Structure 1
Amino acid sequence: MTPVPAIGLCFTPDMAPETLVHLARSVESAGLDELWVWEDCFKQSGVASAAVALASTERIQVGIGLMPTPLRNVALTAMEVATLTRLFPGRLLPGVGHGVQEWMAQAGVRPKSPLGLLDEYATALRALLAGETVTTDGTYVHLDGVRLDWPPEVVPPLFVGGAGPKSVALAARLGDAYMAPCAWTDAHVADVSAIVTDVRGPGHPFVYSEIIATGPGAQERLDADLPRWGGEPGQGIGTAGDADALVASVRRLAGLGVNHLVFQPTADEPDLDGLVSLVGEVRTALHAG
């Protein structure tokens, strides 16, 4: 039998920052495993959001998906990740990726080679978090004898994301876990899972966000939300329905290789507290049966 994935919820960038504390506590109360925050330009800071969520809860793991490498100096990212990891051991799941290139251009940091930058960045970040003294003079990452005074006592797993085939393969090679975007068909999830498995073997941590809607008009709300993330209605993307539909979705995606499943509410979700409670019931049902 396929193991039950870790079940989480997204704090999406269209949610006001002041709602984060309540949501994080609701996610923990509902018995979920993870809360994932984002770092979309020019919305919430992923690190600040993760710090608030961690400080507001006691048990859940909090992921950052994903910190854009062009926007952040790698030494600063290492300092921030190390600090949070020491404060909240075993609970931070940091992630890095290319960032949306149009946004990177707006900020004046778009690289000529996102793949090259990600390779240099993740390599340096892992070394810094391991407590090493790092000197490197790459195309993008330049460090001269940099060492953290307060490296994490236990190095957190590094999640690395990417969407295209080359980015997926690189992310799988560089990271302790691979993080996918949302709004993919099952066939796309399966194809990407095959790439990750080819690079890292079966069972490599694979995070995927499933857009969901429940209650009256669920399918209509889901269909309306998909284009925001590049998905199209009628392609079997996302899940609309009750607890049984969500249970079936978890089992289906787990069978495709997803072992961290993050439920993502639609922008117009009318009852977020109710949705969180429902997802908690789904997790309980999955572990019971």
Structure 2
Amino acid sequence: MRIGYFLSCEEYTPAQLVEQAVAAEEAGFDALWISDHFHPWNDEQGQSPFVWGVIGALSQACRLPVTTAVTCPTVRTHPAIVAHAAATAAVQLEGRFVLGVGSGEALNEHVLGDVWPSAETRLEMLEEAVEVMRELWTGDVVTRSGRHYSVDTARIYTLPDQPPPVYVSGFGPKATSLAARIGDGYISTKTDADLLDQFRRESGGKPTMAGTKIAYAPTEEEGVDHAHRIWANAGLPGELAQVLPSPQHFEQASQLVTRESTASSVPAGPDPQVHLDAVREYVDLGYDEVYVANMGPHYLDMIAMFGKDVLPELRSL
């Protein structure tokens, strides 16, 4: 079991993300997740730095492993470019890099004016994209013409000793089956025992990662306020997160999420037991790695509290 810290590019500046990573390493976290977005979910979050630039900075600031959670290598960014970026990240991190991939959201992928495909087509594109990346990581000159992607005499010269593992996110049965079939591991943010069991069964026991968010603050009320102001979109149901195209649409939809709903679903405030219980739900399901993000400005206090009160308890289980 590894407990990691989740860096939210949607909410923090590059300098703040590096600050959090350094503090997380000092506090005893085992690894890092980092989100990969073109847009934040809403304007209140207010940030969205280019993830590959931040990963380069992280490689020089700490020694923790890094996983993208997750990169979409299908619409906005051609898989050959993602393969190039991931190879460099793996070199900079001396092999401590996992490329987490998923089928993406319109929020980030529509920005070049491309049509946003159906869910089935997105999964098909993701499978082909992973094939392209793995072929390029061989170091060979690659020429191919696939259904969705073409590559012409391309070769990646800066390569790690071993290709980066590819973990695939899955939030439904079809995506979970694809993750089991093509991924080196599984990524989720759900406490869904059925999907986790499906992945374990179909993959033959490949490793699993999960991520969650808390809102540490001096009081529970302040924590709920931060979570509702910044991350009300997390309470939206169904496939809205995949199809809404802009932060403004998410802001409109998030008006349907009440503060009471946020308060009932988000671990908030200063009590370490509240946050321990939230993470333990994922641990008890059997995820191999769990990553925790903080919502709001008190991230250094949250990291220190976890290092002192939560991580030792989790490791004693």
Which of the residues 256, 260, 271 maps onto 2:285? 256
Whether 1:73 aligns to 2:73 is: no
Corresponding residue for residue 228 of structure 1? 233
Residue 25 of structure 2 is aligned with which of 3, 15, 28?
A: 28
Partner residue in 1 for 2:182: 174
Cα distance, 1:96 vs. partner?
Answer: 1.8
Query: Is 1:56–2:61 an aligned residue pair?
Result: yes
TM-score by length of 1: 0.85
Task: Kindly state the Cα deviation for residue 239 of structure 1 after the two structures are TM-superposed.
Answer: 2.9
Alignment of 1:132-151 (within 5 A): 132-151=140-159
Q: 1:18 to 1:137 in 2, by over 3 A?
A: same
Instruction: Please give the alpha-carbon distance, in whole angstroms, between the structure 2 residues aligned to 1:11 and 1:129.
Output: 28
Contact residue 239 and residue 249 of structure 1 kept, 8 A: yes
Q: Find out whether 1:13 has 2:10 as its counterpart.
A: yes
Give SS of 2:70's match.
Answer: strand
- Counterpart position of 2:170: 162
Q: Judge which range, 237-246 or 46-55, deviates more.
A: 237-246
From the superposition, tell whether residues 93 and 143 of structure 1 become closer, same or farther in structure 2 (CA, over 3 Å): same
SS in 2 for 1:118: helix
RMSD: 2.5
Kindly indicate whether residue 289 of structure 2 is the aligned counterpart of residue 286 of structure 1: no
Deviation, structure 1 residue 102: 4.3
Aligned length, in residue pairs: 277
Report deviation, 1:34: 1.6
| d(CA) in 1 for partners of 2:262, 2:20 | 30
How far apart are 1:263 and its partner, in Å?
0.8
Distance 1:109 1:165 in 2: 26
66-75 or 7-16, which deviates more: 7-16
**How do 1:37-116 residues align onto structure 2 when only pairs under 5 Å count?**
37-42=34-39, 43-57=48-62, 59-69=63-73, 70-110=75-115, 112=117, 113-116=121-124
Larger strand fraction of residues: 1
% same residue: 24
Alpha-carbon separation, structure 2, partners of 1:260 and 1:9: 11
Structure 2: distance between partners of 1:223 and 1:87: 34
Contact 2:7 2:17 in 1 (8 A): no
Equivalent pair of 2:224/2:262 in contact (CA under 8 Å): no
Inter-partner Cα distance in structure 2 for 1:131 and 1:250: 40
1:11–1:111 distance in 2 versus 1, CA, 3 Å? closer
CA contact (8 A) 1:46 1:67 kept: no
In structure 2, runs of 5+ residues without a counterpart are: 40-47, 237-256
Alpha-carbon distance, 1:172 to partner: 2.7
Deviation at 1:244, TM superposition (A): 2.4
Amino acid across the alignment from 1:61: P
C-alpha offsets along residues 239-258 of structure 1, whole Å, 9 cap, x if unaligned?
33522233333332122132
Is 2:219 the counterpart of 1:216?
yes
Normalization by structure 2: what TM-score? Answer: 0.78
Identify the residue that residue 241 of structure 2 maps to in structure 1: none
Q: 1:193 to 1:47 in 2, by over 3 A?
A: same
Deviations 1:212-241 (A, max 9, x none): 123412563476266312357379644335
1:136 is paired with a residue whose SS is strand
**Is the Cα contact below 8 Å between 2:4 and 2:33 reproduced in 1?**
no
Distance 2:114 2:181 in 1: 24
Which residue matches 1:201?
A: 204
Residue pair 2:185, 2:207 contacting (<8 A) in 1 also: yes
Match of 2:128 in 1: 120
Counterpart of 2:78, as a letter, is N
Residue pair 1:89, 1:154 contacting (<8 A) in 2 also:
no
